[in-house]
Amino acid sequence: MGSRSRQARSSATAVALLLVLVVAAHTLVVDAASSAASSAKKKPVVPAVIVFGDSTVDTGNNNAINTVLKSNFPPYGRDLHIPGGGATGRFCNGRLPPDFVSEAFGLPPLVPAYLDPAYSIQDFATGVVFASAGTGLDNRTASVLAVLPLLKEVEYFKEYQQRLAKYVGPDRAKHIVSNAAYIVSVGTNDFLENYYLMVTGRFLEFSVGEYSDFLVTRAEEFLTSIYKLGARRVTFAGLPAIGCVPLERTLNVLRGGGCNEEYNQVAREYNVKVKAMIARLRAKLKGFRLAYINIYDAMVDLIDHPEKLGLENVSEGCCATGKVEMGYLCNDVCPLTCDNADKYFFWDSFHPTEKVNRFFSKQTTEVWLSLLR
């Protein structure tokens, strides 16, 4: 009888020990998972992402101004399903390059537009977009569709700094401004919406080469102005292959609808001048880490080798016929809009799809990170 009692007590002790081990193991697993989650939430690489430019980076500022150039309606934003998504005013089916750059740096996955009333200075403290679709380096370009000129974007940047100082204090505001990642993408509209459209008279004032020089001077003035306002690490995008956007292919009917090589040559020559200007500014302005983003070659390579990204159509947009539609002409009434934008280079007749924007953003992220070294 005593032996059975001892065996029972021994078994009970073994079970109790087993339970303790199980609970301890579970606690270790939970702690490890918690630790992993904490380490996954890394400190942001930069305090904020600050953006200037045109529709390639405008996340919704045109919604708030009196212009016909808008995209805050379907099917724009149809694949932007994260909180704050939908038809935000981005000229895309989803996100733009600054959104991906922000996320890669450990910041929110959407960079808000400065004029969007849904956001406040609390949101802008980690990222803000001053860009306006349809604008250019030339102030006359902005007047074509009544959008924000680049000078106004700089004015908003000044106002932003004042608001930021009130929100986080002068010292923290200065830290954010001087350590932020600056992204600038502008220039295409100056040629396609202004010079070649012959609506502002610039084509009478300048040869195309002279106009390129004029624009590069404006770019230099702009970059110097944001440097004086505290920007220190900036990426400046060159022109893409402007003759290969679907709208220009459509207008190039006399040459079979292919890329307009005259326009592409102009873009290449402009880009050479931009790179020389960037080198001058880097040598002239102390501590200015300014880098060129080579969008042109990346775009041409992807058009020539679409299989690299699994693309099937690089000559037309997904929206509507894909040949001329943009803005209000790209709407959810048209039955021709493609089902899968991931197969297309272009979303509408002018702008890339989210898939291509993600691809381009990787180059911007890598170049910007090189400025930290």
What amino acid positions are annotated as catalytic residues? 55, 348, 351
Within 8 A by CB and 6+ apart from 173, the residues are: 161, 164, 165, 167
**3-state secondary structure (DSSP) of residue 314:** strand
* Spatial separation of the C-alpha atoms in residues 348 and 90, rounded to whole Å: 12
Burial 78-105 (b: 16+ CB within 10 A, else e): bbbeeeebbbbbbbbbbbbbbbbbbbbb
**Cβ neighbours of 10 (radius 10 Å):** 10
> CA-based angle 186:187:191, to the nearest 5?
150
Helix (H) or strand (E) holding 346: strand 344-346
The conformation of residue 185, written as its DSSP 8-state character, comes to E
Query: Tokens for 177?
Result: 């401004």
Within 8 A by CB and 6+ apart from 329, the residues are: 320
* Spatial separation of the C-alpha atoms in residues 141 and 151, rounded to whole Å: 12
**3-state secondary structure (DSSP) of residue 125:** coil
Q: Considering only CA atoms, which of 250, 333, 350, 346 is closest in space to residue 303?
A: 346
**Cβ neighbours of 106 (radius 10 Å):** 13
